[in-house]
Each structure stands twice: as C-alpha cells, then as structure tokens.
Structure 1
Amino acid sequence: MIAMLHDLLRVLGLWRARRGWLLAGALIAMLAALAGVALLALAGRGVSEGLRHGALTGVAVGSLLLLRPLILVRPAARYLERLVTHAATFRALADTRIWFFRRLAERLPSGLGMRRAGDLLGRLVSDVEALDGLYLRALVPGAAALAVVLALAVLLGFAGPALAAVVALPLALALLLPPLLAPGAARAAAEVAEAQGRLRTAAVDPLLGLEDTLAANAEGRAAARLDAAGQDLARTQASLARRAAWSGASGTLLTQAALLGALGYGLAGGPGAAAGAVMGLFLALAAGEVLSGLPRAGTALAAAGAGAHRLFEAADTPPPVTEPAQPAALPTGHAIRAEDLRFAWAGDRAPVFEGLSFELPEGGRLALLGPSGAGKSTLAALLLKLAAPQGGCITLGGVDIAELSADAVRSRIACLTQDARLFDDSIAANLRIAAPDADDAALWQALERAGVADVVRALPEGLQTQCGEGGARFSGGQGRRLALARALLSPARVLILDEPASGLDAQAERTFLETLESATEGRSVILITHRLLGVERPTRILRLVGGRAMPAMG
C-alpha cells in the first residue's frame, strides 16, 4: 500500500503543470454534486413543510420555486464537469507519455530488460491510460462525494443531530471504501497489467517476424501462445472484476443503510420527526447518486497504481551514460582520439574492446574493418555517447566526451546506421529529423548530394510523399539514399557510416559508396565496414582484431 501510494503521489507530481485544469475539474465536479444535493434538499423541504402543515405554505412554495434555476444549473455543471475533467486528463496523460518517452530515449541504448516490443508498447499506451482512473474515477468522485457528505451532515444537523448521525455515518463510511479496498485490488490489478503485457508480446513478436513465422510453419504455435495469453488475461480480469463487484455491493449496502436510517428516525421519533425523515430520505438519495461510483474508485486506484509501478520500473532504469553535472564548453575543433578503450556490454559478457586506440584528424577519412561481432557498431555507440567505456577515453577537439553533454557530442558527430529507418511520414518530415528548421531548398540540396533528388521529383507529391512504415514506399537503395540525405542535413562535422550499404546488391552497393565519397566531402568520416570495394578512398585503414585496432595489411 505504501509503495502504491508513493507511485501515485509521484504521478501527481508529474501532473504539476496541469494542476490548474485538474483543480478546476474537481471544483466543478463538487459544484455539480452540490447542485444535485440542493435540488433534492429544496424538494425535500417543500414536501416536509407540506406534511408538517397539511398544505403548501409560503416556505414550501418558495422552496419549490427555487428548483427551477437548479434544474438548469445542475445539467450545465455536469456537462462542464465532463468537459473540464476529461480535458485535464488528456493533457496530463499526454505529459506523462512525453515524460516516459524521454526517459526511455535516455535508457534504451543499454537495454531496459524488456526487449519485447509488445510489452514496451503496453507500458507506453495501456499503463499510461490506466492512470486516468486516478483522477477521473478516484480523485474527482472522491472530492465530489466528500463535499456532498459534509453538506448533508450540516443540513441534517439543523434538523437534528441524531438524524444527521444515522444518515451521514453510513455515507461517511462509504468514503473510506476506496482506500480500504485498494490494497486488496492492487495485486489483482498488477496481475492484469502483466497479463496485458504478455498478450501484446504474444501478438506483436510473431508479426514483427512474420516471414520467419510463416516460413517455419509456426503460425499455429504463435496462435496457441496468443490464445494462452488471452485466457490468462481473462482470468486476471475476472479476478479484478469480482473485487469491483464486491466493492459496488458494499457501497450500495451503505447507501441503503443511510435510507433505512432516515426511515428509522421518522418511525422512532413520532409525528414531529416525519418532516426531518423526509428531508433525510431526499438527501440520502442525492448522496447515493454521487457515491454510487465511489466504491469502484478502489479498483481504479489499484489499476492506476499497477500502471504507475510498471512505468516507473522502466523509467527508473539507470541511464547507460551519466551526464556531467556541469558540462564543459563544446570545443571549436572536431578531431577525434580514442585512447586505450576498454568496454563490455555487461559484467558477465566478454569484453568488446581491450586497449583500443586510434585517431581521426579533422577532415580525415578512417575505414574500420572487421567481421561481424568485432565491435564496429559498439564503437559507434561509444562515439555517440550511447554507451560509456569502462576504461580509457575518447576526446573530441581535445576534450573528453565524458565532460560534454550528449547533445553537444551529437551536434558534432552524426551517424548513418546500417539499419537507418525511414518513418511512416513524409519525405520532408523524415529529412527534418536531422535539421528541424531546414527549408525546402536545403532538403533538395541534401537530396541532390545523396543522388536521390530525381527520384523524389518524379513523385506526384514530391517532398510530401509518404515513406510508408520502414520506408516501404522505396527500394532498398532509394531508402539508403534518403537516409544519407538526412545525415547530410545534420550540421555535424563528423559522420559515422556504419555498414552504410548493408543489404544492397553488388552494383547498388558500389554505386551508393561512390555517392558517399562525393557527398561527404569536407567532413571527417569514419567508415565502419567488413570489407572495402576500392571506391571509398580512406586516408587510413584499421582492422579491429581482439578488441584492438591494427593497421590493415594489403
């Protein structure tokens, strides 16, 4: 319970920027609830006055006349409540998603321990959505119910303390149901959240590798795993639903107890107590409507707590590279020097580098050769501060990159990866990832240098052509050239080309590498590849062997 409370308070801390909207929604919800109480209170007063005097007195008539404006105020307040509370929730959840995405972006290079895309998607979507229950189904109804119970106790207190006690006490106990029931529902809600993650994993993983799944005739096994995950989710959801049903029944029982208390007061108090009993009945009905959804708030709190726990579990993973408390100023030069680098991805894994050293002067073109697993892509990660060496250092312009912010390093060093991805957006949007402020002229210039401008001009929508998921609109060579254009748009003076022609046929590979040679002129280049074709013309060639860089022979 303490851990869940801590997580939920931390969620509210993330929503500080939206506190105006959140408070406004809660206040309007209280106003709408109190308008309902006032409506039935005036109706009850009119009826009780009529019963007391046997006719409609001036007080009774006045009370009934006041019902007219309240009949209009209440639905207007309810509409405004829905409008504001949902707007507040949407804004708060959007902020949470952005915060979570940024935390993931800082931590993904070293892995989060949840490499399954389905589970990660579940945390980003479903677990964030579960947080709406904290506000919409717990805090807002709780604030409205508290206001109603307090108003009811005050109003009935004027009629008689005993009446106030027998009606308000059961309703006050209903207010305690959410915090009392939430701990028991927390475990069930956590199981539901985990089952949802397993279901998404079972659904997404086979689809991501659909060709391999079909080629191995494994669709039946994939369907069986999906069915088992679905049944597991249904079981956990049924358990949580049973708790919600018991909560609802408990709340109904308490509101019925308030009604019985008002009736009992009227029967036991004699004729003079009848008027007060009628008032108590009307107010108990008003309170029952507001408190009807409150018992389920405990389940909502539990679900929100489970979602928050999963979010923070991922978001609190230590980042792979610690940013300096006071970053050094970015140097004017961009020469790179690696000295005695030692690095392993994990303590129980073999080291990738042991004493790696090399230099790249400004304007130099270094080719790093090596077979798969030699550490070529790992070196790119170290240079971009996506990982940090356990020993040695890398300097940029004479300054250790450990003393520079990651943003500063990546403003000087850009990378074209072997699996550079085109996103399901326009060509222009894909290119502007590297330079958000670039105008169309700059985009066309980059496309010209990458040798793909004619292809884009021939498209009916030009720069606004949608690339499709993973660049499906284009061939492999065209996609690589678009990715190269994006890298060329970056103002970085150092380009890392990590297996840039991987997956292309021999002719397309040679043509693409010839384009690279001219397109990257004037920049420092680190070409990471397993072989050279003779068109690259590097100024120095090193081969990665046993975690060290050795001069290439021949």
Structure 2
Amino acid sequence: MSEFQDPLAQKETPKAAFQQIFKIWKPHFVSLMIGIVFSLIALALGLTLMASAGGKIAFAAMGMAIISSVFLKMLGGGRLCMRYVERLYTHNVMFKAIADLRVWFFSKLSKGAAAGLGFRHSGDVLSRLVSDIETLDGLYLRLMLPFAGSILTFIVLLVIIGSIHIPLAVCVAGLYFLAGFVCPIISALITKKHGQTLLHSVAQLRISVLDFIHGLREIRAFGAESRIEDLLEDREKVLFYKQFHQAKKIALMSFISFVLSQIAVLLVLAAALNIGFHGIGAAHIVVCLFLVITAFEVVIPLTRAGGLTGQIINAATRVVGVNQDHVDNIPKGTEQAPEQTDIQFNHLGFQWDKNQPFVYRDLNLTILQGQRVAIIGPSGAGKSTLAALLLKVIVPQEGNITLGGKDIALISEDSVRTKIAWLSQNTHLFDDTIRQNLLLSHPQATDDELWQALSEAAVADVVKAMPDGLDTWLGEGGIKVSGGQGRRIALARTLLSKAPILLLDEPTTGLDADTEAEFFNILNQVASNRTIILIAHRLTGVEKLDKVWRLSDTRLISLN
C-alpha cells in the first residue's frame, strides 16, 4: 500500500469559486451575453404576443379590429423562431464553456497532489469531473437566463399595467416580485446546506460502485455478492431520501409561487368586477389577464432553479477546490534543471497536516549521479512521501531538496520531471494500443526506439508475437496481458523517457517471486548510466545496489 494520504482539501469560498469559473468562461463572455439577449427577445415576443392576443379578442368582442391577425401570426412565428435560436445558441455556448471548465479541471488535477499519485478516490474525482461540472451548466441555463427574463417581465408588468391602472400594477408587480425573486432566494437558502450533503452522497455512491467493480473478483471469490448488493442498496436509499427531501422543499416553494400567481389573476378578475380596482375598461382587463398569466409562467422554473442553487454553489466549490491545499503551496519555479543530477535532501522535515506528527525531521540523504540505491522500510514509514517530494508534488515544511546543486523550488515542475522517470506500484496501462501507452513518456519516439525499449524490458518477443504488434489493444488497465507482461511494458515506457533518474516505487507489487526476480534481473542489465532509486518494503537479494537505507521512526539508517 502507498503511504500517500488524502489531506483535507482547503475549503474554497463560493465567491472565490464563482470568480474562478467566470474567469475560465471569460473568452465566452460575449457569446453568453448574446445568448441572454436572444432569450430576452424571445421572452419579449412571447409577452407581446399574449398581450396583443388579449387585445384582439377584447376589441373583436367590441366590434373593433385594431390588431390584425397578420400581426399576431408574425409575432407567433417570430417567437417560435427566436425560441429555437435561443435554445440552440445558449446550449451550444454552454457546452463550449463547460468543455473549457473540464479542461481547466483536468489541468489543475494533473498538476496537483491528486495527479494519479494516490491522493484521491477515483470515484470522487469522477464525480467532480462529471456530476459537479454538469450541475454548473444550470448556473447559466437555469439561473442567469431565467433571472434576466424575470427582470424584463417585472419591468413589462409595471410599464404596461401601470399605463392602464397604477394600483393594480403595483399589486401585481409586488406579487410577481415575491414569486419571482423572494421565493427562489428562500428556496436557495433552504436547500444550500442540503445541496452539499446531496452532492457528497452522489460522490460516495460513485466511489462505492467503482470500488466494488474493481474488487469484483474478490467479491465473487468470497461469495459476498448479496452483501455488497445490500450495501449499495442502502447507500442508494440514503441518496434517494436526500433527493426526495430536497424535492419536497422545492415543491413547497413552487406551490407558494403558484398560489401567488393565482392571487395575481384573481386581482385582475376582481378589477373586471370593479372590486378594489375601478375604472378599467373591458379590453384592458383582457390584456392585463393575458399578460399576467404569461408573465407568471416564467416564475415556476425560476423557483425550481432557486432550489438547485445550493447544489450549484457546492458544485462550484468542489470543482474549483480540487487540490487547493497543494497547488498553491508548491513553488512554481522558472529555472531549468542542471545537467548534473546529484540529489541531496538537506535537513528535511515534512508533515501532511499541521495537526499530524512529522513524517520525518532533519532528514539528510545524498544520492550521487549514476548510483543505484534502495530505500526500504515498513508501510507508513514515509518512503513514497520521499518520492512525492522529489517529484515536486508536495513541498517540505523544513529544509530543501537540491538537484545538481540547485534547489528544486527554483526549478520548474516540468523541468524537474524531465529528469525523473517514475514507475509506481500502481502503474496504469491505458485502454489503448501498446504504441500509445509507450509514447506517453516520449511522444516523438520512433518505432526503432519503441522496440529498443521493449527489448531492454525483455518484452519485445511477447509484443512481436501479438497479431497487431505495437498496435495491439491492451484493454482497460492492460487486461489483455499478464501482470508480469504489463509491468514490463510499463518499465519499457519508463526507460523510453530517457530521463537520467529512474524512480521505482514498489515496482514489483503484486508479482510472484519468480516474476519479481526476473524483473530485477532485467533492471540490472539496463540503465547502467542512470541513477536508480528503488523504494521497497524489502529486498529480494538479486538487486545490484551501491547504497541501501532503511527508513524508520523518521530517520534514515545506512545498511552498508
């Protein structure tokens, strides 16, 4: 097991989260504003159509033909076309904005402490990448657009009904304000905390499902299928309960909004009977009635969207807050790594969290260029933490690390990692061809270089025997090859990088004794001109090493 832990992520404030999201969406600002304009035009056409239709009916009943049918047809056709254009345009813009957000998320994830080094549950990362980011499309489509429409509708109600009868306009506008602004805000406040627990439940369920899929062989081997099914069912029930609980609250606010809309309609009908409001003509009553009914149709979706505000806020903080603890603390560095690659850990002190004990303090270690060394120790001693520090994934609280005499804090992350090729205990083979898996470490490598790396890893003959050779599809996690063959392909990928330092973190975990010995025999024969740092629980006895240290109780003890 890796010693990496999952430190508590720094809590991102909603304000900072939305500022970051809008910064990412800045290139789409004009397009987003155009989408809002399209939405307002479509809404204005709809309000004009209904008000005009009401006027035509009223005037027709009075034997007058002030509003022509052609005009209404033009309004109806224009509204239909504008609504189609608005939906097509706004969704297209939002797809692009969400795509940029996903790219930003992956970029931040790949540069942070969760960058595949064992810090985060894959289910949690997947939940942020899929569910949380998809939730954020509601920020524009379900909040910003309806909110802009509600402002326009509020103004239209005040102006048109106010030109007919000011007291009636004030009453109707007041009811609209309560239904279209106050109810959504109350709904958002009620569901904000609940939205956080709901997103957490979704993430936990996804983590469980992925975990059980990965452990399916063990589940079947121990006959635990029914127990796992019961466990998943229980977690689904928890999620469904929370969803139902939130739906009830949203439905309550929607009901209140609906009641307010009906009160507004009753006020117009009361005005028609000269109850409370006097002096309004029949034609104007019909216009007001049609306009009020149409206006309050905008309120219902806004109230429902307000109920989802809590989820949108928490989705924003989860997406923007990924790796926040680590990324901001890592010195960026601007210098290039030197050609000389001696490594020194100088009086190093590190702790994962200020409330936890130090993993080690005043640790000193020198690894000369070209040396083959091993660092061994029990689980939890901090061996893999040294690897993370050297890769500049995390930073020490005390002391420093130098590469070729230069502090790695001054060296850019990319430059540091061009000097170090990393092979871990959880090496991943992608669901792609052998060629593409190898090219990950050296995109410009020729076929001759690929075969050379495979030959050095003693797996070239196996690949040549495959029907498609380098273009053989490995399947998910390299399922189409054995564990030993997959580990050799991973070794070939590491050797292909040409990095002068090979960092091997428990590279033979999960292999049987014979395959493990063969792996190290291969390693002994290759990379003779590289620095090799082997991190392991124990040694097999076949490794060729210049120095061996044991890490225990925060100290390094030389064994030779």
TM-score > 0.5 by shorter chain: yes
Aligned partner letter, 1:286: T
- C-alpha distance after superposition, 1:330-382 (max 9, x if no partner): 32322222334344545676655455444333333334455555544333222
Q: What corresponds to 2:94 in structure 1?
A: 89
The reply to whether residue 41 of structure 1 matches residue 46 of structure 2 is no
- With 29-38 and 335-344 compared, the bigger mean Cα shift is at 335-344
Which of 375, 399, 402 pairs up with 1:395?
A: 402
The reply to whether residue 364 of structure 1 matches residue 374 of structure 2 is no
Q: What corresponds to 1:126 in structure 2?
A: 131
The reply to whether residue 250 of structure 1 matches residue 260 of structure 2 is no
- Secondary structure of the equivalent of 2:488? helix
1:18-97 mapped onto 2 (5 Å cutoff): 18-52=28-62, 54-56=63-65, 59-61=66-68, 64-97=69-102
Q: What corresponds to 2:230 in structure 1?
A: 224
How far apart, CA to CA, are the structure 2 residues paired with 1:289 and 1:116? 43
Q: What corresponds to 1:200 in structure 2?
A: 206
- C-alpha distance after superposition, 1:25-65 (max 9, x if no partner): 2221111111111222322232233344x243xx333xx22
- Secondary structure of the equivalent of 1:527? strand
Which of 267, 270, 285 pairs up with 1:277?
A: 285
- Cα 1:263–1:349 change in 2 (3 A) is closer
- C-alpha distance after superposition, 1:60-93 (max 9, x if no partner): 33xx221222222222222222222222332333
The CA deviation at 1:275 is 0.9
Report the TM-score, using the length of structure 1 for normalisation: 0.87
- Secondary structure of the equivalent of 1:293? helix
1:167-246 mapped onto 2 (5 Å cutoff): 167-176=172-181, 177-246=183-252
Which of 138, 145, 148 pairs up with 1:140?
A: 145
The CA deviation at 1:296 is 0.8
CA contact (8 A) 2:349 2:396 kept: yes
How far apart, CA to CA, are the structure 1 residues paired with 2:67 and 2:327? 73
- C-alpha distance after superposition, 1:428-462 (max 9, x if no partner): 33223223444555434433333333333333343
The reply to whether residue 488 of structure 1 matches residue 495 of structure 2 is yes
- Cα 1:135–1:350 change in 2 (3 A) is closer
- Secondary structure of the equivalent of 2:504? strand
Q: Supply the RMSD in Å over aligned alpha carbons.
A: 3.2
The CA deviation at 1:120 is 4.1
The reply to whether residue 291 of structure 1 matches residue 296 of structure 2 is no
Which of 419, 428, 435 pairs up with 1:428?
A: 435
How far apart, CA to CA, are the structure 1 residues paired with 2:295 and 2:328? 55
- With 316-325 and 222-231 compared, the bigger mean Cα shift is at 316-325
CA contact (8 A) 2:94 2:140 kept: yes
The CA deviation at 1:117 is 4.2
- Cα 1:373–1:46 change in 2 (3 A) is closer
Q: What corresponds to 1:405 in structure 2?
A: 412
How far apart, CA to CA, are the structure 2 residues paired with 1:476 and 1:326? 38
- Secondary structure of the equivalent of 1:338? strand
CA contact (8 A) 1:116 1:205 kept: no
- Cα 1:50–1:272 change in 2 (3 A) is farther
- Cα 1:260–1:242 change in 2 (3 A) is same
How far apart, CA to CA, are the structure 2 residues paired with 1:156 and 1:370? 80
How far apart, CA to CA, are the structure 2 residues paired with 1:344 and 1:91? 41
The CA deviation at 1:144 is 1.8
How far apart, CA to CA, are the structure 2 residues paired with 1:295 and 1:311? 25
CA contact (8 A) 1:167 1:280 kept: no
- With 113-122 and 198-207 compared, the bigger mean Cα shift is at 113-122
- Secondary structure of the equivalent of 1:318? helix
How far apart, CA to CA, are the structure 1 residues paired with 2:138 and 2:459? 50
The CA deviation at 1:415 is 1.1
Of all paired residues, the percent bearing the same amino acid is 38
The reply to whether residue 476 of structure 1 matches residue 476 of structure 2 is no
- Cα 1:545–1:332 change in 2 (3 A) is closer
- Cα 1:474–1:196 change in 2 (3 A) is same
The CA deviation at 1:545 is 5.0
- With 418-427 and 161-170 compared, the bigger mean Cα shift is at 161-170
How far apart, CA to CA, are the structure 2 residues paired with 1:419 and 1:167? 65
CA contact (8 A) 2:342 2:403 kept: yes
The CA deviation at 1:214 is 4.2
How far apart, CA to CA, are the structure 2 residues paired with 1:186 and 1:455? 56
- Cα 1:425–1:159 change in 2 (3 A) is same
CA contact (8 A) 2:383 2:551 kept: no
- Cα 1:321–1:513 change in 2 (3 A) is farther
1:256-275 mapped onto 2 (5 Å cutoff): 256-268=262-274, 273-275=281-283
CA contact (8 A) 2:382 2:551 kept: no
CA contact (8 A) 2:332 2:413 kept: no
- Secondary structure of the equivalent of 1:227? helix
Aligned partner letter, 2:308: A
How far apart, CA to CA, are the structure 1 residues paired with 2:149 and 2:355? 55
CA contact (8 A) 1:498 1:527 kept: yes
How far apart, CA to CA, are the structure 2 residues paired with 1:24 and 1:379? 52
- Secondary structure of the equivalent of 1:542? strand
CA contact (8 A) 1:331 1:399 kept: yes
CA contact (8 A) 1:114 1:120 kept: no
- Cα 1:327–1:134 change in 2 (3 A) is same
The CA deviation at 1:22 is 2.2
- With 248-257 and 91-100 compared, the bigger mean Cα shift is at 91-100
How far apart, CA to CA, are the structure 2 residues paired with 1:50 and 1:318? 69
- Secondary structure of the equivalent of 1:292? helix
Could you list the runs of 5+ residues in structure 1 that have no partner in the other structure?
none
CA contact (8 A) 2:209 2:232 kept: yes
How far apart, CA to CA, are the structure 2 residues paired with 1:195 and 1:187? 13
Q: What corresponds to 1:544 in structure 2?
A: 550
How far apart, CA to CA, are the structure 2 residues paired with 1:51 and 1:163? 23
CA contact (8 A) 1:338 1:393 kept: yes
How far apart, CA to CA, are the structure 2 residues paired with 1:463 and 1:172? 66
Could you list the runs of 5+ residues in structure 2 that have no partner in the other structure?
1-11
How far apart, CA to CA, are the structure 1 residues paired with 2:208 and 2:510? 29
